[in-house]
Amino acid sequence: MKKPQPNPIETAGGETHQTNPGKHGCPLTTNVGIPVADNQNSLRQGARGPTLLEDFVLREKITHFDHERIPERIVHARGSGAHGYFQVYESQAAITQAAFLQDPSVKTPVFARFSTVAGGAGSGDMPRDVRGFAVKFYTEEGNFDLVGNNIPVFFIQDAMKFPDLVHAVKMEPDRGFPQAASAHDTFWDFVSLMPESMHMLMWAMSDRAIPRSLRMMQGFGVHTFRMRNAEGAWQFVKFHWRPLHGSASVVWDEAVKLNGADPDFHRRDLWEAIERGVFPEFELSLQVFDEAFADSLPYDVLDATKLIPEELIPLQPIGRMVLDRNPDNFFAETEQVAFCPANIVPGIDFSEDPLLQGRLFSYLDTQLSRLGGPNFNQIPVNAPRCPMHNFQRDGLRQMAVPKGRVAYEPNSLDEGQGPREDPQRGFQSLPIPAQGDKVRERAESFADHYSQPRLFWNSMSAPEQAHIVSAFAFELGKVDTRAIRKRMLGHLELIHADLGRRVASALGMEGEAESVKPARMPLDLAPSPALSLIAGAQETLHGRKVGVLLSEGADTDLLGKLKVLLEAEGAQMVLIGPRAGKVLAADGSHLIPDFALAAAPSIFFDAVVLMPREAEVAAMAQLAAVIDWIRDAYGHLKVIGHLPAAQPLLDKAAIAPDAGVLPITGADALRDFVARAKAGRIWAREPQIRAPV
């Protein structure tokens, strides 16, 4: 049956190729001039089958992309890492034979790297961006690399489009800006022509894209994988990381100011937490399901733009990762660590996800360029902790000294001393049948691009929805080409009428949305409360910081009581003085502030306390830095504790009393402050200080 012609806007999922609006230019070709018939889909064995190695268009395109930057990573260039260990809670033999998931007494060494995606190595830590979440497990059967993000879905369905995506979001090639930002024409032009990006855009415009700390964000394997037990039975799995000390994000104004005040905010936070013994901990959980369940879903589990709500498949916690040691050398470890999704161990296997299939080639190809040749696995941070034996030899930067005359197999000259394949213990791919013609075609089951973005919107709390609207308004407001904005408004209306209306109103473009005809009409899926950061926030101060603004004459007794209460919650009290030098306390002793006021804006802290002496308040009220410090804490919805003497400072800063502005009149009031600070930001304050969008 002849396929319907693609809509000019709808571009992927059930369609063979994209039709861009407007006139076509010259034919697209490979680097040697071969015309390209389809630049949207990898060549695979059947529409849902594995990608074929013979796809020279895909290999040339990704190879060229992988080698565009030397030696910095093209994406994920700015990263922070830490060493640690992983322990499984109990044997997972029922679902996998992977050795590191069997014995609860074994601590498997790990190295984790967290990163931004769009910016270069010199960019800041706090742009609105996806964060990489990659973990290298040094298991007894070899290295397993779980290479994911802090968002469970991705922008594209097929690896063929990855170079296009990154080219679109990177600095525009004629002008070299913006750095580490998606708020520009080329990015929104691309995604507005790729409806499959809509789900990821909802996550990227949410608070998930501006995490409070690398220690406080979730991680996901993104793709669907398979696990196999010793009997050969297999099931699908999805990997989830959850921070045991709670997930948290900042608000946008706070992120902007953090990037200016401390571009290394995330990197510093991770390093300092580990140095003072507040070790980040993440729980690894699985979603496990069989093929029958996968087939019952209204979307395809091989589609990386889709997730399975936790309400349908609850998470099974299987183990815990603790990061307890900072790198000894940033370049040798954090910069040179080489992750590759193809690094899996017996008991774990791939799915036919076309985005994953392309990554299996791309990462290894990238390491060859970045790290100087095929011997990059001899770099200590990449080297396995178990024995490694094979007949691979020589090459650039060979550090080992292989002995003997034999460098091949089979052979009869090493007298049985050399390595041999092991059919019993060796890795074996699952015998998954593949059917179909060799095609460049997107499976029809990939065609629904709006149901899950709608699910995400409907799962958000009111503050989170307001933040998403504001983010779209900011980003699209920086797009010069009006036609791109209209096109995006059409997509947003399809996701949800309220979302489209509010963004159009914020842009002053009511009624200008372009009509978009979807490849498949969106479904109204049940909301997933687990997707909301605010709804799922746990009450905790563990690993958080509370800033205390002091003056001369500080009350050391009250400070001591506050410190005890905060440390009991796993929080850190940070003293901020008018200057970096000593502060004379009321009892005649001297306090040494951790920071001077000029070096410690309130954006660095999760809650604040004002503890000035009454005699100092009038002078402090004349300092713009003090008033800005208080206004920012209030504007960023933080809990503010204050001595009664500080009321004139609150009045000068125009702070309205609410549930998060607490007078401290004694020990009981201190306990009330700590309890309220554990509950997090004062979301009810936001509509009063920031007009809703």
The residues assigned a catalytic role are: 76, 149
3-state DSSP helix/strand/coil percent for the chain, to nearest 5?
A: 30, 15, 50
Q: Give CA separation, 530 vs 60, 294, 410, 523, in Å.
A: 41, 20, 54, 19
DSSP label of 422: -
Phi, psi of 425 (to 5 degrees): -100, -15
Tokens 């034996």 locate to 389
Q: Can you point out the beta strands (E) in 411-534?
A: 438-440
Report whether 228 contacts 349 (CB < 8 A): yes
Paired tokens of 674? 């700590």
| Residue 147, CA atoms < 13 Å, CB-side half-sphere | 21
Report whether 344 contacts 90 (CB < 8 A): no
Nearest to 353 by CA among 90, 613, 159: 159
Q: Give CA separation, 181 vs 172, 187, 202, in Å.
A: 11, 9, 16
Q: Can you point out the beta strands (E) in 503-618?
A: 545-550, 572-577, 583-584, 590-591, 595-596, 607-611
For residue 28, the tally of other CB atoms under 10 A from its CB is 12
Cα–Cα distance measured from residue 614 to residue 552, given in angstroms and rounded to the nearest whole number:
10
Nearest to 116 by CA among 83, 145, 80, 146: 80
Report whether 562 contacts 555 (CB < 8 A): no
Paired tokens of 584? 């004379």
DSSP label of 535: T
Cα–Cα distance measured from residue 428 to residue 56, given in angstroms and rounded to the nearest whole number:
26
Paired tokens of 5? 């012609």
Bridge partners of 177, per DSSP, are: none
Report whether 612 contacts 646 (CB < 8 A): yes
Q: Is 587 exposed, middle or buried (0-12, 13-18, 19+ CB in 10 A)?
A: exposed
SS3 74: coil
Reported as type and span, the H/E element at residue 115 is strand 108-116
Q: Can you point out the beta strands (E) in 315-460?
A: 316-325, 348-349, 438-440
Cα–Cα distance measured from residue 617 to residue 613, given in angstroms and rounded to the nearest whole number:
7
| Residue 382, CA atoms < 13 Å, CB-side half-sphere | 19
Asked if the peptide bond before residue 453 counts as cis, ω within 30 degrees of 0, the response is no
Paired tokens of 202? 């909802």
Cα–Cα distance measured from residue 595 to residue 261, given in angstroms and rounded to the nearest whole number:
14
